[in-house]
Amino acid sequence: MMKLKPNQTRTYDGEGFKRRAACVCLRNETEDEVLLVSSSRHPDQWIVPGGGMEPDEEPCGAAVREVYEEAGVKGKLGRLLGIFEHNQDRKHRTYVYTLIVTETLEDWEDSVNIGRKRKWFKVDEAIRVLQSHRPVHAEYLHGLKDICGPIRSPACSPTNGNTPSSPLTDNSTPHYVVCSTQGSDLVNR
């Protein structure tokens, strides 16, 4: 199902969840620093870059596109941290991946159009920053520490020069972590 919004098309899955994707952008493989961006609606607050999927777009492609638009970075797509469901007033299902940043643009779409900023945070500091106004985004970061081994993301063809680093091989089946969150609002960015 699709629903038109003035500047985008919202897509929904068969269960009525809005289809979303995001990336936890990492400075390097040590996964101790993450890149957050300022909220478009509340510029003094930080968020994990992500947004709605376009029609016929794969989650991993949407995730790298959103990071490119919102954070102005390109990188190597990594594992799927989880599929996070938000069921409060609006139903969202967000696929969250890791992305090792390999290129940072000086000017990018959201910096020019809406004055969005970006900043590197240590993971624990980012969790504290997000916990008060974006608890579901803090949960994404908890996924960095909670996963015992890498979760492989399905093979895909992301856009904007981002490349998958963990394609599936032969008979591998991707493992998904479904996290359900209550009481947090993922839309009011």
Can you list the domains of the chain with their CATH numbers? Answer: 18-148 (3.90.79.10)
CA angle 179, 37, 62 (to 5 degrees): 55
CA angle 188, 177, 170 (to 5 degrees): 125
User: Which residues does residue 93 pair with via DSSP β-bridges, in sequence order?
Assistant: 19, 85
pLDDT tier at 144, thresholds 50, 70, 90: confident
> Where does the chain have alpha helices with state H?
59-71, 109-114, 123-131, 135-146
Distance CA(174)–CA(78), nearest Å, equals 13
Distance CA(44)–CA(56), nearest Å, equals 34
pTM of the model: 0.77
The span from the first CA to the last CA of the chain, in angstroms, equals 23
Q: Is 146 helix (H, G, I), strand (E, B) or coil?
A: helix
Over range 133-150, report the average pLDDT.
77
User: Which residues does residue 163 pair with via DSSP β-bridges, in sequence order?
Assistant: 76
Question: Is it the case that residue 173 has pLDDT exceeding 80?
Answer: no
Residue 5 has a pLDDT of 42
Catalytic residue annotation: 69
Ramachandran sector of residue 132 (left: φ over 0; alpha: ψ -120 to 50; beta: rest): alpha
> Lowest-confidence range among 6-10, 49-53, 94-98?
6-10
